[in-house]
Amino acid sequence: MVTLQNQIAAAAGPGREARLLAVSKLQPASAIAALAAQGQRAFGENYVQEAADKVQALAALDLEWHLIGHLQSNKADIAARIFDWVQTVDRDKLVTALARHRPAGLAPLNVLIQVNIDDEDSKHGCQPAEVADLAATIAAQERLRLRGLMAIPAPFPEAEKRRAAFQRMHELFTGLTAHHPHVDTLSMGMSGDYADAIAAGSTMVRVGTALFGQRPTS
Ligand SMILES: *Cc1c(COP(=O)(O)O)cnc(C)c1O
């Protein structure tokens, strides 16, 4: 983990930093606990039920849990209770469901808008042109806190195309901060491309394989 953190710091350069979100989908709770013992606090999960089990098992560790997988509306009630961040908000219906179910005793739920930056049929996320309206809808909810944007760009073979997607995300992000000054998070970059993502302005990289090794298959 220390090596990865050094590489992230090197990619960010002086005066900038990118947070490391440890992507723990399909990893056992014991693997998460081992990383937590080395000081890692933020973990990303893709599946609500799997996450619920781990959150409960590791409650004593005071970790920060992020949902980075697609969220079905009928699971919004569980998600609003167990996560600290939901990075995959891409439609109004989810906004109202999460706000309604966020327990009063908890801090507002941190929310990122997922953008389908390469306009892929297979990917969730809103269109770039929809970000402004969705951001306004989120900002109007007291139980939610808009923190920024998230994307999973298409795995183009050409590095140029992949970098262009990161750059378009950064432009969108800059535009968003003009209207929502407290927005501070641009979540992009995974094991294979986090350095390019950071170079383009990512503030949070989501790394699984490079941290835990190959994922167990479910
Ligand atoms: C699995 C996953 C990651 C991590 O991918 P790695 O290549 O293992 O680093 C990051 N983001 C999302 C949304 C994921 O589903």
CA of 104 to the centre of ligand 1 (A): 31
DSSP character string of the chain: -HHHHHHHHHHH-TT---EEEEE-TT--HHHHHHHHHTT--EEEES-HHHHHHHHHHTGGG--EEEE-S---GGGHHHHHHH-SEEEEE-SHHHHHHHHHHS-TTSPPEEEEEEE-TT--TT--SB-GGGHHHHHHHHHT-TTEEEEEEEE-----SSHHHHHHHHHHHHHHHHHHHHH-TT--EEE---TTTHHHHHHTT-SEEEESHHHH-SPPP-
CA of 59 to the centre of ligand 1 (A): 23
Q: Does residue 20 have its Cβ closer than 6 Å to ligand 1?
A: no
CA of 69 to the centre of ligand 1 (A): 9
- Domains of the chain with CATH codes: 19-212 (3.20.20.10)
Q: Does residue 207 have its Cβ closer than 6 Å to ligand 1?
A: yes
Q: Does residue 68 have its Cβ closer than 6 Å to ligand 1?
A: yes
pTM beyond cutoff 0.75: yes
Mean pLDDT by 10 residues, the chain (218 residues): 91 95 97 97 98 98 97 98 98 98 98 96 94 98 98 94 97 98 98 97 98 86
Q: Does residue 191 have its Cβ closer than 6 Å to ligand 1?
A: yes
Instruction: Give pLDDT, residue 122.
Output: 87
CA of 10 to the centre of ligand 1 (A): 21
CA of 88 to the centre of ligand 1 (A): 13
Q: Does residue 25 have its Cβ closer than 6 Å to ligand 1?
A: yes
